[in-house]
């Protein structure tokens, strides 16, 4: 599919829904220096919302809020770098000069767009692995909590693509089609795939918060459900996009391989197998959850702390009875 580029200084509209009404957001929110871009503001808001949700939910997973904050300090910068590296690697031709040399300045210009969510996910898993290993925490309890913030961040973050007029799909005449301008006199009407993914993730977040997490049977259930849900949605949505990252020049059945689509399918299959294995074969129960194990340990500790206090009066009473008994024995 041919990649289409929309002009960032031309209006956006949804003619099938709102008629002639147009929206023309300036990608730069504040014109100071190089400018403060809406892209960065929206992504920052997405990260903050995800962090706040994780902190609010932390106790339900046996995780301390301090551990959430500590991990985020490592994860956020690492994930931004990882996301950008992933995007550049699979889109390297966009960052070459006319003579074929690499344009390093454009590579770091993330305010123009170009962050790949799978780069974020891969680096996040690595950061969580080493952090939980160092702090002796449960890896899957932390990821079960983390995917709540991640999917909320994705819901919000996709609207940065809207402001930048990117991550849209192919041509369509559906009622909710989005109109973008590719020249000053020519427009295209396309699938608003950023909206599809945002709404798909919104449903996924609802399922995680109100269904999956309330009936968790093992640490990792939220995690594998996220990969299953997101993988299925992204596999479908990626097929509609015109700006997919491709796996170099590799092909399958004569068609180029979309990196995100292939990875989504693999993750969805693996996640489905892991859920089946833990629920149907291993028959995990909520007793093994970290939060429940910690609760039992705390209950045991509290019981042991109270026991000496309850035993002392009995010991004193027994001593008094023994003394009284000795005094009442007949003297020979």
Provide the annotated binding site.
158
- Rounded Cα–Cα distance for residues 235 and 231 (Å): 6
> 28: closest CA among 20, 36, 16?
36
Ramachandran bin of 264, using left for φ above 0, alpha for ψ from -120 to 50, beta for the remaining angles: alpha
> 35: closest CA among 121, 142, 112, 134?
112
E strands in 10-75: 12-13, 22-23, 28-30, 36-37
Number of residues assigned to the chain: 332
- Rounded Cα–Cα distance for residues 284 and 224 (Å): 14
Helix (H, G, I), strand (E, B) or coil at 324: helix
Q: Which residues pair with 169 in a beta bridge?
A: 241
Helix (H) or strand (E) holding 251: strand 246-252
- Relative orientation angle of helices 117-135 and 139-163, to the nearest 10 degrees: 150
Would you give the DSSP letter of residue 212?
Answer: I
Burial grade of 187 (CB within 10 A; 0-12, 13-18, 19 or more): middle
Cβ distance 168 to 178 under 8 Å?
yes
How many helices (H) and strands (E) in the chain?
Answer: 10, 8
Tokens representing residue 171 in the block: 């041509």
270 contact partners, CB below 8 Å, separation of at least 6: 227
């Amino acid at each position: 599919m041919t990649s289409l580029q929309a002009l960032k200084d031309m209006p956006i509209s949804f003619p099938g829904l709102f008629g002639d009404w147009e929206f023309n957001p300036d990608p730069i929110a504040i014109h100071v220096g190089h400018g403060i871009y809406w892209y960065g503001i929206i992504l920052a808001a997405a990260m903050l919302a995800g962090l706040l949700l994780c902190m609010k939910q932390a106790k339900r997973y046996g995780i301390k809020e301090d551990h959430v904050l500590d991990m985020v300090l490592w994860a956020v910068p690492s994930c931004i770098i990882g996301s950008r590296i992933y995007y550049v690697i699979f889109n390297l031709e966009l960052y070459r000069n006319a003579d074929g040399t690499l344009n390093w300045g454009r590579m770091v210009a993330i305010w123009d767009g170009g962050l790949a969510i799978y780069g974020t996910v891969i680096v996040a898993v690595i950061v969580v692995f080493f952090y939980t290993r160092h702090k002796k925490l449960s890896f899957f309890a932390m990821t079960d909590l983390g995917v709540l913030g991640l999917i909320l961040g994705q819901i919000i973050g996709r609207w940065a693509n809207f402001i930048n007029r990117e991550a849209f799909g192919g041509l369509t005449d559906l009622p909710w089609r989005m109109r973008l301008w590719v020249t000053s006199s020519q427009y295209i009407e396309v699938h608003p795939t950023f909206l599809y993914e945002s709404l798909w993730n919104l449903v996924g977040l609802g399922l995680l918060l109100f269904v999956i997490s309330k009936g968790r049977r093992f640490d990792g259930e939220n995690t594998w459900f996220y990969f299953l849900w997101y993988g299925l949605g992204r596999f479908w949505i990626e097929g509609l996009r015109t700006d997919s990252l491709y796996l170099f020049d590799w092909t399958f059945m004569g068609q180029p391989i979309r990196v995100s689509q292939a990875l989504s399918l693999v993750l969805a299959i693996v996640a489905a197998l892991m859920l089946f294995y833990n629920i149907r074969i291993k028959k995990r129960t909520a007793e093994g959850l970290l939060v429940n194990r910690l609760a039992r340990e705390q209950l045991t500790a509290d019981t042991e702390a109270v026991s000496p206090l309850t035993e002392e009066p009995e010991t004193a009473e027994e001593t008094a009875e023994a003394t009284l008994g000795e005094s009442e024995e007949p003297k020979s």
